[in-house]
Amino acid sequence: MVMNDLQPILSLEDITNRFGATVIHENLNLDVNTGEILGLVGGSGAGKSVLLRTAIGLHKPVAGSIHLRAKQVGVLFQHGALFSSMTVIENVALPLFEHTSLSRAQALHLASLKLALVGLDQAAGARYPAELSGGMIKRAALARALIREPDMLFLDEPTAGLDPISAAAFDQLILTLSKALGLTVVLVTHDLDTLHAICDRIAVLSDKQIIAIDTLAKVAEHKNDWIQSYFHGPRGRAIIDKPPYSQHSSLTVEN
């Protein structure tokens, strides 16, 4: 309801994570709004993946609290490879095999619907992961993340390893699905194009905390050194200075 939508779907409060003596997060706070696509950025090793794992309950912080109000969560892990010994459709259906009492036939039928949703046909579903392109594997992994009808998706570097055209197509798929299904999305990325094309807000993880969270344009104005070099280096400038995809009337993106 409206009242619930005003509440963040995810709140991380005063989170501290450490491995041995190494502190990764210290009194970190982050709110994710219902329905938004939030991009989480930060230098290598800043703790983005650990934060994502903390949010979904796979990593227990040494201090702080997590309020996750999503009814169902889907996750696409950074190295979320599909099982090579199973066909693509079996991989997508796997969470249903494991977590529901659906029959095998029912689970496979639902998996085929999810494959269609992400733009993969039956022939792709019948193949083994090694027989798919990188872009198709990402799509299959996304179908698996969607199989239990999540209202929130966590994506760890969804476009890593994709060529620019496949990455742009995957960005647009995430955007379309998010808006069509009302999904809240948190995505960890190094991809400036992704941030620019689909993220409503950007959160910057640096020095163990979220040091900025706002629109791309506003975050890029922040005086922090990492933000300046990330958003205003040669790659960042090209992105910041161009209009979002939605204003590129002639752009078509295909896989």
For ligand ATP, the binding residues (CB under 6 A) are 19, 24, 42, 44-50
Nearest CB to ligand ATP, comparing residues 47 and 150: 47
Nearest CB to ligand ATP, comparing residues 30 and 120: 30
* Residue 69 token pair: 């109000």
Shortest CB 26 distance to ligand ATP, Å = 13
Angle (CA) 118 157 232, round 5°: 120
Q: Which of 81, 42, 57 is nearest to 195 (CA)?
A: 42
d(Cα 40, Cα 29) in Å, to the nearest integer?
A: 13
Q: How big is the chain, counted in residues?
A: 255
Nearest CB to ligand ATP, comparing residues 225 and 241: 225
Pairing of strands 209-214, 201-206: antiparallel
Shortest CB 44 distance to ligand ATP, Å = 3
Shortest CB 51 distance to ligand ATP, Å = 7
d(Cα 41, Cα 166) in Å, to the nearest integer?
A: 21
d(Cα 58, Cα 211) in Å, to the nearest integer?
A: 24
Nearest CB to ligand ATP, comparing residues 21 and 180: 21
- CA 150 to centroid of chain Cα atoms: 13
Shortest CB 158 distance to ligand ATP, Å = 13
Shortest CB 164 distance to ligand ATP, Å = 19
Question: Per DSSP, what are the bridge partners of residue 31?
Answer: 11
Single-letter residue type at 71:
K
Instruction: Determine whether 76 is exposed, middle or buried from the number of CB atoms within 10 Å of its CB (0-12, 13-18, 19+).
Output: buried
Nearest CB to ligand ATP, comparing residues 50 and 186: 50
Work out whether the CA dihedral 54, 56, 58, 61 comes out positive or negative: positive
Shortest CB 210 distance to ligand ATP, Å = 13
Shortest CB 95 distance to ligand ATP, Å = 24
Helix H or strand E segment including 83: none
Nearest CB to ligand ATP, comparing residues 90 and 156: 156
Nearest CB to ligand ATP, comparing residues 41 and 185: 41
